[in-house]
Amino acid sequence: MRFDFIMQLFILNVGVQSFILYIYFNYYFQILLTKYFSKFQNEYDYIIIGSGTAGSVIAHNLVTKTNFTFIVIEAGGESNSLFEIPVLGPMLHNSVFDWQYETIPQQNACLAMNYKKCKLPQGKIVGGSSKLNNMVHIRGNISHYASWFYGKYHESYLNRHFDMIEKNLLHLNEVQYESEMATAIAEAAEELGYSRLGSEFKVGYRKSKLSQKNGKRWTISDNLDSSKYVLSNALVEKVIIVNDIAKGVTVQISDKKHNIFARKGVILSAGTINTPKILQLSGIGPPNILNNLNIPVIKNLPVGYNLQDHVTTGLDLILFNKTLSVNAMSMLDVFNVYQYFFHGKGPLTTAGCEAITFLSTKGENIPDIQFMVMPVGISSDRGSYLRLALGINDSVWEDYFEKFFDKHAATILPIVLHPKSKGQVHIITTDPETPPLIDPKYLSHDEDVKTLIKGLKLVQRFLNTKAMEKVGAFINPQHYPGCKSHTIFSDSYWDCYVRHLTLTSYHYVGTCSMGLTSSNSVVDTSFRVFGVANLYVADASVLPTLPSGNINAAVAMMASVFFDENINLVKKVRNSEHCHKYQLLYELIHKICLI
């Protein structure tokens, strides 16, 4: 390795290790505070498990629209101002503020990763995975969302919920600072005949709309007074269920177990991996899994099945003859640090994804591929952190990524919007601290591989435009390790490439799917767990299929619908001044419906 690369690695390593040290100090200091100063009541009206996007939407609505008491129980710790610096988001991946989940060894994918396992980042922090993501806000195709509820709601109703969230809970802004690549991609899209995306969801392009305020990361949890409503560093072990009614939860805080009870409902918003884990530990799930662990089966439901994810590939596939304005070393520039902290501007506001495109590999106006345009690749930090967080094995790193340190590497991720491959999540022990087995079965369906290959060919088309050539962009000519027997850029080469360099978009859904019957679903279209009263699931796990784009906006909308359906309705009935003499009858009918 050249001397200048060694110096860059040294400088970046010092910065990375300093921040990691700060992360650990912050985490364990919070653990200490929780041990001695955490306060909570024995009973609330509602218990919300998880403070991610869905849990935070529900909690905010409870505060602003009702007088109900509630507590949000979060397994992770609090965020802070340094964690809100957008460019540092990836540094929380694989840290103590990440659940550090990974897949089991994959047969058809993740071949370039250590032990053929793909990392699956999931936020273990107040705010959940929205504290680790790229902050990109996309409504997606509303008609798909309407189908989740089997025609129960019109698209206009769902759009009203999006409007409310965007106006009241989020701060949405265009990209504050962008590299030359963002403009080049937009010009390349126009050169290829694509139009700018408007409010209608179709094929096209646009620069990213981000959830930021004054240049810093903004999540829906930031609306909530966490000191008052959130019990952090508290691990929910199981739901307490008596006579098919959810009564509360068992929670572990500083090695002590506590029972906290709910008068009206327990709401699981722990995410696509942790929600099925908690349900299975509570006795709700497939009998073959529960019986093997001697867990009494309370309800036989397909908990943990139907796991889906937006699979992608293409790290560092684009090289430049010059360094772009967004790069790893620019983040250490004192002037750029000043720009961020005093003006909310500069490269430290970079979200990772500068632009998005929605494309069709079938020549239709309905996209099946999404591009996420990223001005840097994992080689930008010279191996100090990003490749470790992704789990790239040493031989691949040395035989591929280290060979183009003299170039600026960037990434366009072609994402399969509607993958056919489906996997599962299930517990392997009764210990609530043990990670569940996660098998997404990436690329087990050949259609996903074919779509990804077509996506990579679309990347090539973009690189062949005058707009991209003008900024010195070209496709990485290095043969990927393990694929050298194939003619480079042939279909067989790309097939090999995607199976080696398989990546998640962190968009896991489906493990507690919504549906009409308990034979193939976990919750009904009102988010109620089949057969268990006062138990609800409201997070990405209930989505039967993936949205056409980043999932955070869709999850927020869904949580808002949950509140209207299950909590606001109760409040409206109780506060109604009409038909007062029938109030008890209305409440009785509502309780029967909940059961």
How far is residue 153 from each of residues 440, 528, 563, measured CA to CA in Å?
30, 17, 14
How far is it, in rounded angstroms, from Cα 216 to Cα 348?
A: 9
**Extents of the domains making up the chain:** 1-97+121-170+218-305+506-568, 174-217+311-416+443-501
Fold of 1-97+121-170+218-305+506-568: FAD/NAD(P)-binding domain (3.50.50)
> Is 136 assigned a ligand-binding role in the annotation?
yes
**What tokens does 433 get?**
């601290």
Establish whether 239 is an annotated binding residue: no
Per-residue pLDDT of the chain (595 residues; tens, 9 = 90+): 577 667 776 777 888 889 999 999 999 999 999 988 889 999 999 999 999 999 999 999 999 999 999 999 999 999 999 999 999 999 999 999 999 999 999 999 999 999 999 999 999 999 999 999 999 999 988 888 988 998 899 999 999 999 999 999 999 999 999 999 999 999 999 999 999 987 667 899 999 999 999 999 999 999 999 999 999 999 999 999 999 999 999 999 998 999 999 999 999 999 999 999 999 999 999 999 999 999 999 999 999 999 999 999 999 999 999 999 998 888 888 899 999 999 999 999 998 899 999 999 988 888 999 999 999 999 999 898 999 999 999 999 999 999 999 899 999 999 999 999 999 999 999 999 999 999 999 999 999 999 999 999 999 999 999 999 999 999 999 999 999 999 999 999 999 999 999 999 999 999 999 999 999 999 999 999 999 999 999 999 999 999 999 999 999 999 999 999 999 865 554 454 343 444 444 444 544 443 4
pLDDT, tens digit, for every residue of 408-463? 999 999 999 999 999 999 999 999 999 999 999 999 999 999 999 999 999 999 99
Helices then strands (H, E): number in the chain? 17, 23
Give which of 209, 224, 217 is closest to 349, Cα–Cα.
217
Q: Which pTM does this prediction carry?
A: 0.93
529 is annotated as contributing to ligand binding: no
Q: What are the start-end ranges of the H helices in 66-150?
A: 142-148
Residues 6+ apart with CB under 8 A from 191: 465, 466, 467
CA atoms within 13 A of residue 423's CA, in its CB half-sphere: 25
Average pLDDT, the chain: 93
CATH pick for 174-217+311-416+443-501 out of 3.40.1110.10, 3.30.410.40, 3.40.710.10, 3.30.750.24:
3.30.410.40
Please answer whether residues 62 and 68 qualify as being in contact, where contact means their C-beta atoms are separated by less than 8 angstroms: yes
Residue 260 CA from chain centroid, whole number: 28
Q: Would 1-97+121-170+218-305+506-568 and 174-217+311-416+443-501 be classified into the same CATH topology?
A: no
236 in a labelled binding site: yes
Using an 8 Å Cβ cutoff, are 319 and 474 in contact?
yes
Contact criterion met (CB below 8 Å) for 307 and 424? yes
d(CA 140, CA 509): 15
C-alpha distances out from residue 69 to 42, 250, 381, 585, 591, Å: 12, 18, 47, 24, 19
CA distance 5 to 16: 16
Q: Does 134 carry a binding-site annotation?
A: yes
Question: Are residues 495 and 502 in contact, defined by beta-carbon separation less than 8 angstroms?
Answer: no
Q: What is the pLDDT of residues 174-218, one digit of tens each?
A: 999 999 999 999 999 999 999 998 766 789 999 999 999 999 999
Between CA 243 and CA 248 the distance in angstroms is 13
Please state, in angstroms and rounded to a whole number, the distance separating the CA atoms of residues 228 and 490. Answer: 58
Nearest to 52 by CA among 131, 128, 123, 137: 128
Cα gap 137→492, rounded to integer Å: 35
CA gap 246, 267 in Å, rounded? 10
